[in-house]
């Protein structure tokens, strides 16, 4: 009799716990799926951020050996479908140059006119759409994901500023005003390259803990 009661009690308990266990397993699977999708999106965005930083620095003529090493290391972290062999070979070639050769090629690649540079915007649609699901992630990941979103918005603002200054360069301005506009435009480009690098580094660190 006692054994039957124990069996019945265990069965009743399992009946109560089963839905909880099923929901927990389901929640873990959903969280893992969200993390995988976020990692994939951020992987692509980080790669494009690195390329944008490189392209901007190249036009500004600010590429140096330390920056090239950063680009090389960052490209290595990219695991997506985009072809990276050509840019990887280019960076490797530049790193093999003597200091004076690198300085010369950097100068030759710098944009003849700063207005020729077009900045690109970035987006993290999946991350944006899943903000409500962040609560299932550890706090440090939540904070870093929100920071990535802030980085993207800041870059968008810089792109808008660059377009405003770019359009002003075609206006009828006094020489001093025109010079000031061009200097402001260049300043925006410098900040854009800097923020691209900051955002890419943040994503790479975040991917290490996801």
Q: What is the C-alpha R_g of the chain?
A: 25
Within 61-83, where are the H helices? Answer: 65-77
Q: Give per-residue pLDDT as tens, 126-184.
A: 999 888 777 778 889 899 999 999 999 999 999 999 999 988 888 777 777 878 988 99
Percent above pLDDT 70 for the chain: 83
Q: Give per-residue pLDDT as tens, 87-137.
A: 999 999 999 999 999 999 999 888 655 556 889 999 999 999 888 777 778
Of 8-12, 75-79, 95-99, 135-139, the one with minimum mean pLDDT is: 8-12
Q: What does each C-alpha distance from 92 to 61, 96, 102 come to in angstroms? A: 18, 6, 12
Model confidence at 63: pLDDT above 90:
yes
Residue 116: alpha-carbon gap to chain centroid = 24
């Amino acid at each position: 009799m006692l054994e039957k009661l124990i069996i019945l009690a265990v069965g009743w308990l399992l009946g109560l716990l089963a839905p909880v266990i099923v929901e927990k397993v389901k929640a873990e699977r959903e969280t893992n799926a969200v993390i995988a999708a976020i990692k994939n999106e951020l992987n692509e965005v980080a790669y494009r951020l690195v390329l944008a930083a490189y392209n901007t620095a190249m036009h500004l003529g600010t590429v140096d050996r330390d920056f090239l090493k950063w680009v090389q290391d960052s490209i290595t972290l990219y695991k997506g479908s985009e072809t990276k062999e050509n840019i990887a070979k280019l960076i490797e070639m530049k790193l093999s140059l003597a200091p004076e050769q690198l300085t010369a090629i950097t100068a030759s690649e710098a944009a003849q006119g700063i207005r020729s540079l077009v900045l690109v915007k970035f987006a993290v649609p999946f991350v944006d759409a899943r903000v409500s699901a962040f609560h299932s992630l550890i706090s440090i990941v939540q904070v870093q994901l929100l920071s990535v979103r802030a980085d993207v918005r800041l870059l968008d603002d810089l792109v808008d500023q660059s377009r405003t200054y770019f359009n002003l360069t075609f206006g009828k301005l006094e020489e001093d005003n025109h010079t000031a506009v061009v200097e402001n435009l260049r300043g925006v480009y410098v900040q854009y390259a800097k923020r691209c690098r900051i955002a890419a580094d943040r994503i790479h660190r975040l991917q290490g803990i996801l």
